[in-house]
């Protein structure tokens, strides 16, 4: 990997303003290390960007951001920014912020830009890769799931001058979105974790999703591409991959990098996912604290990219041992009652929900329960996708189903005898908090729109 971008001296706010074709109002100082569009997340020393949205205007929250310690405001109207707080006035934040980030990125000639997309596992792969690469290099990535054009731009604006690798997450709900991000922020390394039914309202078909994800290959700087070798559609697409780009398949069944014989178990509340990892020129044993055999894919992609870039194998494997899943993404929690909670509540599509149900059913338990939200944005076939998962409820003592799509499923055919529709997740939380005990296992999973993360927080005692 190439060296750091340049000087250890941080860019000044006045230089940032100049790059944006604007001027700095107020005192000058180092550019903050974090740029945020949500004032509630702002901490002392952060930058706040006041975007004018269709539902809310960020300018209405400038005072809140300043009160929380913002050290720089980027906005279109600086009338309400105190003179003591630096600000940069832009003409159009939605247009100018990506332009500014693109200009700054273009200055970093030796920087490895790693872009991750896919229907499943983008954020988990990004986080594991960040931790793995940080054992050998200076790495920057977003702290949040910033996977839009604006999100990637905010990530880049907060990047330290000394970074050697930048990790971007690129999501999409419609064709052309990834292509636009690639035009602004061309990656040198690209990853496609999976292509399965997800956001079908915007893509119409899985083939449409495939084409959208492969927009990431349009980067003129691309030199290496890592893709899911077990995905038939990606395998069939291989002939169309750019011939000048090195391509690597990562998979459990097929791949240049292989996760062989993944095994998952839960020992006294501690998850353990292990497998043998084969890579060009060698092999190693991998042990981690991630949930489910399907978790091997995110780890495999991180190892593949890490080894490709020359990261220390021993340091990477040691770091993997210390990692735990992010909240809502397969996190294992021992509740105050002694019950085991599998917190997979952040999101769901047919592939990820199937994997979670199957892996949850393999955990030894006195009683096994699940709270399953609906899978959103699946288009005209959404009821069929939900119905296809009913058979996976069999190993569970009881399954509570939350959301209007599950109600439509129940209208068309009887639910399994261990399935029950619920309207009030809060009331169920009260029931579970008093009813769960040692030896019980509870899986919670659904699309983020269901907000089952609130149920998880309640069961952990964090939300009343």
pLDDT tens digits for 14-29? 999 999 999 999 999 9
Q: State both tokens at 241.
A: 């991959």
Buried residues in 275-291 as b, exposed as e (16+ CB within 10 A): bebbbeeeeeebebbbb
Residue 4 in this model has a pLDDT that exceeds 50: no
What pLDDT is stored for residue 9 in this prediction?
A: 63
Residue 60 in this model has a pLDDT that exceeds 70: yes
Read off the pLDDT of residues 97-130 as tens digits, 9 standing for 90 and up: 999 999 999 999 899 999 999 999 999 999 999 9
Dihedral (Cα; 69, 74, 79, 80), 10-degree rounding: -20
Read off the pLDDT of residues 277-301 as tens digits, 9 standing for 90 and up: 999 999 999 999 999 999 999 999 9
Read off the pLDDT of residues 424-447 as tens digits, 9 standing for 90 and up: 999 999 999 999 999 999 999 999
How deeply is 406 buried, as exposed, middle or buried, from its count of CB atoms within 10 A (0-12, 13-18, 19+)?
Answer: buried
Q: State both tokens at 362.
A: 């393999």
Residue 388 in this model has a pLDDT that exceeds 50: yes
What pLDDT is stored for residue 268 in this prediction?
A: 79
What pLDDT is stored for residue 386 in this prediction?
A: 97
Question: How much is the average pLDDT of 400-412?
Answer: 97
Pick from 177, 137, 125: which is nearest to 304 by CA? 125
Whether 165 and 112 have beta carbons less than 8 Å apart is answered as: yes
Cβ neighbours of residue 66 under 8 Å, at least 6 residues apart?
A: 48, 73, 81, 82, 85
Cβ neighbours of residue 122 under 8 Å, at least 6 residues apart?
A: 116, 145, 147, 169, 170, 171, 193
Contacts 24+ apart (CB under 8 A), 103-108: 103/19, 104/19, 104/156, 104/157, 104/159, 105/156, 105/166, 105/185, 107/5, 108/5, 108/163, 108/166
CATH topology of domain 331-459: 3.90.190
Domain with CATH 3.40.1390.10 in the chain: 24-92
Residue 132 in this model has a pLDDT that exceeds 80: yes
240-to-237, 270, 401 alpha-carbon distances in Å: 6, 43, 42
Question: How much is the average pLDDT of 152-175?
Answer: 96
Residues in the chain: 464
Q: State both tokens at 279.
A: 């890579």
Residue 232 in this model has a pLDDT that exceeds 80: yes
Residue 1 in this model has a pLDDT that exceeds 70: no
Considering the chain, what is the average pLDDT of its residues? 94
Domain 24-92 homologous superfamily, CATH: MurE/MurF, N-terminal domain (3.40.1390.10)
CATH topology of domain 111-322: 3.40.1190
What pLDDT is stored for residue 463 in this prediction?
A: 59
Domain with CATH 3.40.1190.10 in the chain: 111-322
Band the pLDDT of 254: cuts 50, 70, 90: confident
| Pairwise CA distance, residues 141 & 366, whole Å | 41
**Lowest mean pLDDT: which of 167-171, 178-182, 201-205?**
201-205
Q: State both tokens at 5.
A: 């971008």
Pick from 344, 75, 338, 114: which is nearest to 223 by CA? 114
Read off the pLDDT of residues 341-377 as tens digits, 9 standing for 90 and up: 999 999 999 999 999 999 999 999 999 999 999 999 9
Residue indicated by tokens 């890592």: 226
Residue 51 in this model has a pLDDT that exceeds 90: yes
179-to-149, 174, 458 alpha-carbon distances in Å: 10, 11, 40
**Phi and psi dihedrals of 370, rounded to 5?**
-150, 140
Band the pLDDT of 6: cuts 50, 70, 90: very low
Relative to beta strand 224-228, strand 246-251 is parallel
What pLDDT is stored for residue 406 in this prediction?
A: 97
**DSSP secondary structure of 320-378:** HHH--PPTTSSEEEE-TTS-EEEEE-S---HHHHHHHHHHHHTS--SEEEEEEE---S-
What pLDDT is stored for residue 5 in this prediction?
A: 44
Q: What percent of the chain lies above the pLDDT cut of 90?
A: 92
In a 3-state reduction of DSSP, which class is residue 269?
Answer: coil
Residue 145 in this model has a pLDDT that exceeds 90: no
What pLDDT is stored for residue 10 in this prediction?
A: 80
**Angle CA(324)–CA(230)–CA(322) in degrees, nearest 5?**
15
Query: Which value, in Å, is the radius of gyration of the alpha carbons in the chain?
Result: 23
Residue 8 in this model has a pLDDT that exceeds 80: no
**pTM for the complete prediction?**
0.94
Cβ neighbours of residue 60 under 8 Å, at least 6 residues apart?
A: none
Q: Which helix (H) or strand (E) holds 111?
A: none
Cβ neighbours of residue 100 under 8 Å, at least 6 residues apart?
A: 16, 19, 20, 153, 157
| Pairwise CA distance, residues 202 & 105, whole Å | 30
Read off the pLDDT of residues 305-349 as tens digits, 9 standing for 90 and up: 999 999 999 999 999 999 999 999 999 999 999 999 999 999 999
């Amino acid at each position: 990997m190439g060296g750091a971008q340049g000087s250890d001296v941080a860019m000044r706010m006045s230089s940032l303003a100049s790059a944006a074709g604007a001027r700095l109002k107020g005192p000058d100082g180092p550019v903050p290390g974090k740029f945020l569009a949500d004032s509630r997340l702002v901490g002392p020393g952060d930058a706040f960007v006041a975007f004018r949205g269709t539902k809310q205007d960020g300018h209405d929250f400038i005072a809140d951001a300043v009160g929380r310690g913002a050290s720089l405001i980027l906005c279109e109207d600086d009338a309400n920014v105190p003179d003591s707080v630096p600000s940069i006035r832009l003409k159009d934040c939605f247009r100018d912020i990506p332009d500014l980030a693109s200009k700054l990125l273009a200055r970093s000639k030796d920087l490895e830009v790693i872009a991750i997309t896919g229907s499943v596992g983008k954020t988990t792969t990004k986080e594991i890769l960040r931790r793995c690469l940080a054992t050998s290099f200076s790495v920057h990535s977003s702290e949040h799931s910033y996977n839009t054009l604006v999100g990637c731009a905010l990530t880049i604006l907060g990047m330290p001058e000394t970074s050697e690798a930048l990790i971007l997450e690129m999501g999409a709900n419609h064709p052309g979105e990834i292509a636009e991000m690639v035009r602004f922020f061309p990656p040198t390394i690209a990853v496609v974790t999976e292509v399965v039914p997800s956001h079908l309202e915007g893509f119409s078909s899985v083939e449409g999703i495939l084409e959208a994800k492969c927009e990431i290959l349009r980067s003129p700087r691309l030199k290496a591409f890592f893709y899911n070798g077990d995905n038939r559609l990606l395998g069939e697409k291989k002939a169309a991959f750019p011939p000048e780009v090195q391509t690597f398949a990562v998979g459990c069944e097929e791949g240049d990098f292989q996760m062989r014989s993944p095994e998952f178990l839960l020992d006294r509340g501690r998850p353990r996912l292990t497998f043998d990892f084969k890579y060009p020129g060698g092999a190693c044993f991998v042990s981690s604290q991630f949930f489910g055999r399907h978790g091997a894919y995110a780890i495999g992609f991180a190892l593949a990219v890490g080894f490709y870039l020359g990261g220390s194998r021993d340091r990477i494997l040691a770091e993997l041992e210390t990692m735990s899943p992010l909240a809502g993404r397969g996190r294992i929690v021992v509740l105050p009652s002694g019950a085991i909670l599998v917190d997979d509540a952040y999101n769901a599509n047919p592939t990820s929900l199937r994997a979670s149900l199957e892996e949850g059913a393999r955990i030894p338990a006195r009683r096994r329960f699940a709270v399953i939200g609906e899978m959103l944005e699946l288009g005209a076939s959404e009821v069929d996708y939900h119905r296809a998962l009913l058979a996976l409820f069999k190993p569970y003592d009881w399954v509570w189903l939350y959301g209007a799509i599950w109600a439509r499923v129940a209208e068309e055919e009887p639910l399994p005898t261990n399935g029950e529709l619920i309207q009030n997740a809060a009331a169920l939380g009260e029931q579970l908090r008093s009813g769960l005990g040692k030896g019980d296992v509870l899986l919670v999973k659904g699309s983020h729109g269901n907000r089952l993360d609130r149920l998880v927080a309640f069961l952990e005692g964090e939300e009343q």
